[in-house]
């Protein structure tokens, strides 16, 4: 391959095509030669066989004609009548002798020596007997009959038999030669096929080799160009040969070095923090603007992390600013040691605030980086005999989900960091609810705590309909909050806030207890309805969920098979190892598991075959426009097929009309839920709906049976 990279592409193509053409030309010439040989052999065989058979038959015919003339001598009484017959006898004798002489002189005479000797022997006996019979006829025709019958005719038969034996031997040899010709044909055919295979193989190998020698360097060159466009100026340089692609690689490398040199000069002059050596605020904002332009152009995500050191003011006040400065230097070193890529940019903005730019990473990847940053500060830092415990609060925002401009992204990351610092949760990803929760957060959190204590929360049940029979065998449990003064607070206002503050764990425990209690009461009443309960990311990774569920099931005496926990893709990807361990324990307990809002994330697909789940719910955003958007229809169809291939049941959310329902039935969807079947209802309203739906389902089944 190294040799090819040093050969120009036009030369490579010429050599490859030349080799293929040469092989094909040789195959054509070889084929023509084999055809010529086979044809010549066949013609020679046919000519020799026909010639020998013709001569033998001529000899037989002449001998038989002579015998006929001999009989004429016996039936002609006058000598004058017999005289014209003798020239005819002599003429047939000459024909006979000429044919036998030609046989003896043929190319294959040596091969048929024994048969020809037999012919000559019996010919001599026949001629001798024939001549004696002719002389006897002239003396006394009556006396000549006996010698003719006893000697001449047997001699004739022997000669004819010898000629037949010669023809038979020649036929056998012709068959042998024909077999040889057929064998030669088969060998020629195999040789031609082999040459053809070699030609095809050579063509494929040439095409593969040439393609790889061109495509691989081009792909590496494309990656190098993308790395440069993304600001990754230290990526590995692909091997550069002496061909055209090599020239392009060297040109890109020169461009990369030029860009790096200019950026280094700029950074050295004005864009570095004097204390930590990290980029400063000016450089960070400049790089953020550039990264946003690239992200918009290439349609890839970008994430921003704001990190603030907890209790840093206390260190400065107690130990002094010099110690605080040295602490910042140690913190900067630890933050740089977490395995950031060359394109990531860590900067010190001011005081104890750091910011990290991830030019090509989304929220999930940013969360992983945030975990590593926080983990790097777990161990105390030793300074002047003091072991200083350090922690940090991290706020995360991402383009384009949380904003389109640098100012918006930074302000929302700052807001998320503030919420993280207030809640002591380490890191927080921006959510639209945070902007509202910061004003009313403290009062809302206090009210939410009292809501659980005062039973202000209620459960609503939304039916899940089995397709195509339209029966209800399970429900999804949804929590509602009836505030005493604010009225009904929508879930999208208090659930995200509860998740950010960590209070979601209290709500989840309350919902599990109440939902399992209702399901147990239904089971005692003869209605074994399954219940689906949503579980958040914090529930899955921040508490011993399997133990909590086991305790609830034991207290309510509920069959674990009637409980199904719905987990979002983001919850699984928050900590895949821990999530898999928790889900495996729940599955071993007999609890059913479902992936909620499937399709809105992207990372869990790789874990789908590993997760012990039984159900997959297609997000409503793909289902609601199923009858109008061919793209959504394709996604739903592919998701159903994928889930069924993994042995999973598929539930479609957001079914709004009958047309969507019929489409889902045609696509093979197992269950559906949405306003078309029933809205979320309090327990008493649901029981009325359930009785009516059961009656309707029975009627439909009776009609179907008719």
**Average pLDDT of span 551-558:** 94
Q: How far is CA 483 from the centre of its chain?
A: 52
Specify which residues 489 forms β-bridges with: 481
584 compared with 598, residue with greater pLDDT: 584
Rg (CA), the chain: 51
Do 504 and 449 meet the contact criterion of CB atoms below 8 Å apart? no
CA separation for the pair 589, 544 (Å, rounded): 14
Q: DSSP 3-state assignment of 76?
A: coil
Domain boundaries, the chain: 2-207, 271-430, 446-688
**Average pLDDT of span 253-262:** 72
**Average pLDDT of span 680-705:** 72
CA separation for the pair 504, 523 (Å, rounded): 28
**Average pLDDT of span 164-192:** 68
**Average pLDDT of span 448-476:** 89
Residues in the chain: 706
369 compared with 122, residue with greater pLDDT: 369
Q: Is 665 left (phi over 0), alpha (psi -120 to 50) or beta?
A: alpha
CA separation for the pair 180, 174 (Å, rounded): 10
**Average pLDDT of span 166-184:** 67
561 compared with 498, residue with greater pLDDT: 561
Q: How far is CA 307 from the centre of its chain?
A: 41
Confidence of residue 193 (pLDDT cuts 50, 70, 90): confident
pLDDT beyond 70 at 241 = no
Say what the pLDDT of residue 602 is: 47
Do 620 and 640 meet the contact criterion of CB atoms below 8 Å apart? no
Say what the pLDDT of residue 553 is: 95
Q: How far is CA 294 from the centre of its chain?
A: 30
* Residue written as token pair 């047309």: 659
Question: SS3 for 451-508, per residue?
Answer: HHHCCCEEEEEEEEEECCCCEEEEEEEEEEEEECCCEEECHHHHHHHHHHHCCHHHHH
**Average pLDDT of span 417-434:** 78
Q: Which of 189-203, 470-484, 544-558 is least confident? A: 189-203
448: buried, middle or exposed (CB in 10 Å: 19+, 13-18, 0-12)?
buried
CA separation for the pair 148, 126 (Å, rounded): 10
**Average pLDDT of span 140-144:** 70
CA separation for the pair 262, 264 (Å, rounded): 5
**Average pLDDT of span 699-704:** 45
Which tokens is 7 given? 């050969």
Nearest residue to 30 via CA among 177, 218, 250, 187: 187
Q: Which of 26-35, 310-319, 360-369, 697-706 is least confident? A: 697-706
Which tokens is 22 given? 């040469």
- The percentage of residues in the chain with a pLDDT greater than 90, rounded to a whole number, is 27
596: buried, middle or exposed (CB in 10 Å: 19+, 13-18, 0-12)?
buried
Which tokens is 280 given? 């400063």
pLDDT beyond 60 at 46 = no
Q: Largest Cα–Cα distance of the chain, in whole Å?
A: 167
pLDDT beyond 60 at 661 = yes
Say what the pLDDT of residue 293 is: 94
Do 664 and 626 meet the contact criterion of CB atoms below 8 Å apart? yes
Q: What b/e string do you get for 507-541 counting C-beta neighbours within 10 Å, with b at 16 or more?
A: bbbbbbebbbbbbbebbeeeeebbbbbbbbbbbbb
pLDDT beyond 80 at 135 = no
Neighbours of 633 (CB within 10 A): 17
Q: How far is CA 466 from the centre of its chain?
A: 32
Question: SS3 for 532-549, per residue?
Answer: EEEECHHHHHHCCHHHHH
Q: What does 331-388 look like in DSSP terms, one character per residue?
A: HHHHHHTT---TT-EEEEEETTEEEEEETT--HHHHHHHHHHHHHHTSS-EEETTEEE
Residues 6 or more apart whose Cβ sits within 8 Å of residue 364: 570, 573, 574, 601, 603
Say what the pLDDT of residue 41 is: 53
What's the predicted TM-score (pTM) here? 0.44
Sign of CA dihedral 42, 43, 49, 50: positive
DSSP 8-state symbol, 150: I
**Pairing verdict, β 471-483 and 530-535:** parallel
Specify which residues 598 forms β-bridges with: 618
**Average pLDDT of span 361-376:** 91
Which tokens is 412 given? 């929302």
Which tokens is 227 given? 């790395």
Which tokens is 204 given? 């494929």
Say what the pLDDT of residue 632 is: 86
Pick the most confident of 238-242, 260-264, 401-405, 513-517.
513-517
Q: What b/e string do you get for 235-256 counting C-beta neighbours within 10 Å, with b at 16 or more?
A: beebebbebebbebbeebeeeb
Do 101 and 123 meet the contact criterion of CB atoms below 8 Å apart? no
CA separation for the pair 571, 554 (Å, rounded): 26
Confidence of residue 545 (pLDDT cuts 50, 70, 90): confident
**Average pLDDT of span 282-296:** 92
Which tokens is 45 given? 């065989």
For the chain, what is the mean pLDDT?
79
Confidence of residue 13 (pLDDT cuts 50, 70, 90): low
pLDDT in tens, 587-639: 999 999 999 877 665 444 556 677 899 999 998 888 988 888 888 889 899 99
**Average pLDDT of span 83-97:** 76
Task: Let me know the angle formed at the C-alpha of 420 by 416 and 422, rounded to the nearest 5 degrees.
Answer: 115
Q: Which CATH class is domain 446-688?
A: alpha beta
Q: DSSP 3-state assignment of 310?
A: coil
Write the CA distances from 142 to 75, 79, 148, integer angstroms: 10, 14, 11
* Residue written as token pair 């399709």: 599
Which tokens is 520 given? 């147990």
Sign of CA dihedral 352, 358, 363, 367: negative
CATH number of 271-430: 3.30.70.270
**Average pLDDT of span 135-153:** 73
Say what the pLDDT of residue 473 is: 93
Q: How far is CA 287 from the centre of its chain?
A: 38
Q: Compute φ and ψ for 99, nearest 5 degrees.
A: -65, -45
Q: What b/e string do you get for 71-89 counting C-beta neighbours within 10 Å, with b at 16 or more?
A: eebeeeeeeeebeebeeeb
């Amino acid at each position: 391959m190294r040799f090819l990279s040093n050969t120009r592409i036009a030369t490579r193509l010429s050599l490859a095509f030349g080799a293929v053409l040469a092989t094909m030309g040789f195959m054509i010439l070889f084929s023509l030669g084999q055809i010529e040989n086979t044809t010549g052999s066949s013609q020679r065989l046919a000519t020799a066989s026909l010639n020998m058979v013709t001569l033998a038959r001529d000899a037989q015919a002449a001998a038989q004609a002579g015998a006929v003339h001999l009989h004429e001598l016996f039936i002609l009484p006058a000598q004058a009548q017999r005289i014209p017959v003798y020239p005819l006898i002599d003429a047939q004798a000459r024909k006979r002798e000429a044919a036998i002489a030609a046989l003896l002189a043929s190319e294959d005479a040596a091969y048929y020596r024994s048969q020809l000797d037999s012919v000559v022997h019996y010919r001599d006996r026949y001629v001798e007997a024939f001549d004696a019979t002719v002389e006897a006829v002239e003396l006394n025709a009556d006396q000549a009959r006996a010698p003719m019958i006893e000697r001449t005719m047997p001699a004739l038969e022997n000669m004819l038999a010898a000629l037949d034996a010669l023809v038979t031997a020649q036929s056998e040899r012709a068959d042998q030669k024909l077999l040889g010709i057929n064998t030669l044909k088969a060998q020629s055919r195999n040789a031609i096929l082999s040459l053809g295979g070699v030609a095809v193989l050579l063509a494929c190998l040439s095409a593969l080799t040439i393609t790889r020698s061109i495509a691989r360097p081009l792909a590496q060159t494309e990656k190098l160009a993308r790395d440069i466009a993304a600001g990754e100026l230290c990526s590995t340089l692909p091997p550069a040969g002496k061909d055209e692609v090599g020239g392009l690689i060297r040109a890109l490398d020169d461009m990369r070095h030029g860009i790096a040199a200019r950026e280094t000069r700029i950074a050295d002059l004005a864009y570095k923090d004097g204390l930590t050596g990290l980029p400063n605020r000016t450089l960070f904002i400049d790089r953020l603007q550039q990264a946003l332009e690239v992200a918009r152009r290439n349609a890839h995500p970008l994430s921003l992390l704001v990190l603030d050191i907890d209790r840093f003011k206390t260190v400065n006040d107690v130990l002094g600013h010099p110690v605080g400065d040295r602490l910042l230097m140690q913190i900067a070193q630890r933050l740089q040691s977490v395995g950031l890529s060359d394109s990531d940019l860590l900067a010190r903005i001011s005081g104890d605030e750091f910011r990290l730019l991830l030019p090509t990473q989304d929220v999930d990847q940013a969360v992983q980086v945030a975990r590593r940053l926080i983990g790097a500060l777990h161990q105390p830092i030793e300074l002047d005999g003091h072991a200083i415990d350090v922690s940090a609060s991290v706020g995360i925002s991402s383009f384009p989900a949380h904003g389109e401009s640098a100012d918006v992204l930074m302000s929302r990351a700052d807001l998320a960091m503030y919420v993280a610092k207030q809640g002591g949760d380490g890191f927080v990803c921006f959510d639209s609810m945070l902007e509202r929760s910061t004003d009313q957060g403290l009062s809302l959190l206090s009210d939410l705590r009292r809501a659980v204590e005062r039973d202000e929360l209620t459960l609503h049940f939304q039916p899940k309909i089995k397709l195509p029979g339209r029966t209800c065998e399970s429900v999804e449990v949804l929590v509602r909050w009836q505030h005493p003064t604010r009225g009904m607070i929508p879930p999208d206002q208090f659930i995200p806030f509860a998740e950010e503050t960590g209070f979601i764990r209290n709500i989840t425990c309350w919902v599990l207890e109440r939902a399992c209690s209702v399901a147990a009461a239904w089971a005692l009443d003869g209605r074994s309805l399954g219940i689906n309960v949503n579980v958040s990311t914090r529930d899955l990774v921040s508490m011993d969920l399997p133990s909590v569920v086991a305790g609830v099931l034991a207290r309510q005496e509920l069959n674990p098979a009637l409980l199904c926990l719905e987990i979002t893709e983001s919850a699984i990807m928050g900590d895949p190892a821990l999530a898999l361990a928790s889900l495996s324990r729940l599955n071993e307990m007999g609890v059913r598991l479902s992936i909620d809002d499937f399709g809105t994330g992207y990372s869990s697909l790789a874990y789908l075959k590993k997760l012990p789940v039984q159900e997959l719910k297609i997000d409503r955003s793909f289902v609601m426009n199923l009858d109008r958007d061919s793209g959504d229809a394709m996604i739903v169809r592919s998701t159903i097929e994928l889930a069924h291939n993994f042995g999973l049941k598929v539930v479609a959310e957001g079914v709004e009309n009958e047309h969507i329902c019929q489409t889902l039935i045609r696509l093979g969807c197992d269950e559906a839920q949405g306003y078309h079947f029933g809205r979320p209802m309090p327990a008493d309203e649901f029981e009325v709906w359930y009785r009516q739906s059961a009656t309707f389902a029975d009627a439909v089944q009776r009609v179907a049976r008719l």
